[in-house]
Structure 1
Amino acid sequence: MMDLFFQALNLMFIGMGFVFAFLALLVVLTSLMSKIIMHYQPPVVATAPKLSSVQQANAPAQDSDPQLKAAISAAIKQHRARRRS
């Protein structure tokens, strides 16, 4: 019976060792691949899309709606009050 237990422990450690080795290899290869790609392809700088004059006119102005601001403030106060109780 003890021999079977040691055999099970041995199999468990071998299996966990293979999983650990595979994951470590995966991390190393992914990092290496990332460095190679960054060497040949510099990072792209993301820019915000330009809005046309029609889109700018239709876009809601930030902080200009007092009702929206009041509704958000009330919702935050109600949420905080519920969490305290």
Structure 2
Amino acid sequence: MNNLINDGLGLLLLGMGFVFVFLCLLIVATGLMSKFINRYFPEAAPVTKKPATVPSSASAASASATDPKVAAAITAAIHQHRNR
């Protein structure tokens, strides 16, 4: 009986050892792949549009207004929802 417990503990340590080593290798491989991807395939910088210089605030407000068709569709949806 004592021999079976020793064999069981040996298999337990061997199995947990393999899992631990595999997970450590996985962490190292993931880190290396991340460095490789970032070095040879960097992310493109986001392109930002330069805002048009508008001297009056009224034209800036009209530029940020929504499309009239979209506003009409939103108004109709709200009206239909409230009439239920």
- What band does the TM-score fall into relative to the shorter chain? 0.5 to 0.7
Q: Deviations over 1:22-79 (max 9, x none)?
A: 1000000000011111110123345689xxx889324xxxxxxxxxxxxxxxxxxxxx
Residues 1:57 and 1:15: Cα distance change in structure 2 (over 3 Å): same
User: 2:20 & 2:63 partners in 1: Cα distance?
Assistant: 53
Tell me the residue number matched to 1:57.
65
Structure 2: runs of 5+ lacking an equivalent: 50-60, 67-84
1:28 aligns with 2:36: no
The alignment-based identity, stated in percent, is: 44
Paired residues, number: 55
Cα distance between partner residues in 2 of 1:18 and 1:54: 66
Task: Measure the CA separation in 1 of the matches of 2:63 and 2:7.
Answer: 71
The CA RMSD over aligned residues, in Å, is 2.6
Amino acid at match of 1:42: P
One-letter amino acid of the counterpart of residue 25, structure 2: L
Q: What aligned pairs does 1:1-85 form with structure 2 within 5 A after superposition?
A: 1-46=1-46, 56-58=64-66
Greater Rg, structure 1 or structure 2? 2
- In structure 1, the gaps of 5 or more residues are 59-85
Cα distance change on mapping 1:55 and 1:21 into 2, 3 Å: farther
- Scaled by the length of structure 1, the TM-score of the pair is 0.53
